Structure 1
Amino acid sequence: MWPFKKKSKISGLPQKLPFKSGAAFLEYQCEFGHVDIVPKQGIVALVMDSSKEFGTENPVKVESDGTQKATLKVASNDGGFIVIAQTPSGKGDPLKPDDVVIWVPMLHSKEVVPDGHDQRFGWAGFIVAKVKPEIDMANPNFEILSRYD
């Protein structure tokens, strides 16, 4: 007699698709996720290391009131674009490079964009949540790890 039972059901595809990094998750979102800039509608973004990108003192700046300011790479069909954004409050976990966040664009200002630069840089918005870098096949919503509003 064989000591092992056969699986009675073939499991098929996994219910959750975890990504090895925030950068890999952003790449997926650029290809298959929501990338249209619509005021007050969130888009996936990646926290970048501001000290490496712009030579700042810290990767993410924490203001005296606890709000956090970060450089983000926002999902877009061309691989992402850069914005500077902050959290609307001092609530939530500390942000660090490679975190996946939801960025909510609020308004666009052409005046802040130097001539010849990407016009998307003129969008002002907030970081409202940090999310888990995974796709849940049973749930279309992202799993929120920390809220900032």
Structure 2
Amino acid sequence: MAEDAPHRKFTSTMEAFEHACAEHDTLIVPEQPLLAMVLESVGDAGALAEGDGCAQLTLKAASEDGGFVVISRTTFAPKQTLHPGDLVCWVPLQHDADLGARAGDERFGWVGLVFASFEPQWAGDEWVVREFFE
């Protein structure tokens, strides 16, 4: 991670996302969290509530080239609805090479889960958690 001020509040989630792409470690490593932004949802109000209440989301994960798209879901039902533009903690777990090849970007093949949502704020050495999904 790049050196950051002990506390930084960004003016928008897009500014925070662009900062993560340019200044933070964006190497894809299994079980290593990455900042991601909700792009769109499959359903109303930012997420598709599945039978277990988890949300299915289309995300743009932070990377040096400005981000890459993945489909993911939350670990548990969010208490606060997730909307396009919200920042989340996405954790890649394993790679599906066939899925990545079909999509034209091998990074799309990463399968992972969303564990939390973030505020567009950096404090100390981490993003400020809005909600941890538990």
Q: Please give the range of the TM-score, normalised by the shorter of the 2 chains.
A: 0.7 to 0.9
Check 1:92–1:147 CA distance in 2 against 1; reply closer, same or farther (3 A cut).
Answer: farther
Equivalent residue in structure 2 for 1:30, among 3, 21, 33: 21
Q: How far off its partner does 1:103 sit?
A: 0.3
Equivalent residue in structure 1 for 2:36, among 23, 33, 45: 45
Query: TM-score, structure 1 length as denominator?
Result: 0.79
Equivalent residue in structure 2 for 1:20, among 11, 20, 26: 11
Q: How far, CA to CA, are the matches of 1:15 and 1:128 in structure 2?
A: 24
Please tell me whether residue 122 in structure 1 is matched to residue 109 in structure 2.
yes
Structure 1 spans left out of the alignment, 5+ residues: 1-13, 51-55
Aligned to 1:85: 72
The two structures, once aligned, show a CA RMSD in angstroms of 1.8
Q: How far off its partner does 1:114 sit?
A: 4.2
Q: How far, CA to CA, are the matches of 1:44 and 1:97 in structure 2?
A: 14
Check 1:65–1:81 CA distance in 2 against 1; reply closer, same or farther (3 A cut).
Answer: same
Secondary structure in structure 1 of the residue aligned to 2:66: coil
Aligned length: 129
Q: How far off its partner does 1:57 sit?
A: 4.2
Detail structure 1 runs of 4+ shifted over 4 Å in the superposition.
none
Structure 2 spans left out of the alignment, 5+ residues: none
> % of aligned pairs identical?
33
Larger Rg: 1
Q: Is the 8 A contact 1:30 1:75 kept in 2?
A: yes
* Greater strand fraction, Structure 1 or Structure 2: 2
Q: How far off its partner does 1:115 sit?
A: 4.2
Deviates more, 1:91-100 or 1:122-131: 91-100
One-letter amino acid of the structure 1 residue matched with residue 25 of structure 2: H
Secondary structure in structure 1 of the residue aligned to 2:38: strand
Check 1:143–1:57 CA distance in 2 against 1; reply closer, same or farther (3 A cut).
Answer: closer
